[in-house]
Amino acid sequence: MESSEIRIKQHPILDFPERRKVRFYWEGKELLGYEGEPVASALHAAGIKVLHKSMKEGRSRGFFCAIGNCSSCLVIVDGVPNVRACTEKLRAGMRVEMQKGVGPALISKE
């Protein structure tokens, strides 16, 4: 699906004004999203639904609750694992990666 179609353009009650678009990366691939929107909504608008692989069987996981309750959408943001894609706000240049299981250990930078 085209990413332009998935954004709501016309709505009888709500208005979604244009916001500042920023570049970010998903698995190294450059994408555009709105600054300040949740990472999950930017990814969903770009057609990306699989955000995480389950711990034991490696099954695909996406977002589920969208408000930070469950842990279905954990991703790695700028090297930090276990970030909830549904509540993390998008920033320019953010590097987001799919988290597999518990994700990598957080190693402090030298």
Closest approach of Cβ 52 to another protein, in Å? 9
Closest approach of Cβ 107 to another protein, in Å? 21
Q: Is 54 in the site for another protein (CB under 8 A)?
A: yes
Residue showing tokens 């909830």:
84
Whether 54 and 44 have beta carbons less than 8 Å apart is answered as no
Q: Is 29 in the site for another protein (CB under 8 A)?
A: no
Q: Is 61 in the site for another protein (CB under 8 A)?
A: yes
User: In the complex with another protein, which residue's Cβ is closer, 27 or 60?
Assistant: 60
Whether 11 and 25 have beta carbons less than 8 Å apart is answered as no
Q: Is 99 in the site for another protein (CB under 8 A)?
A: no
Q: Which residues contact 7 (CB under 8 A, 6 or more apart)?
A: 16, 45
Q: Is 63 in the site for another protein (CB under 8 A)?
A: yes
| Tokens matching residue 85 | 């894609």
Torsion of CA 84, 66, 3, 21, to 10 degrees: -60
Residue ranges in contact with another protein by CB under 8 A: 1, 5-8, 10-16, 37-38, 40-41, 44-45, 49-51, 54, 59-70, 72, 86-87
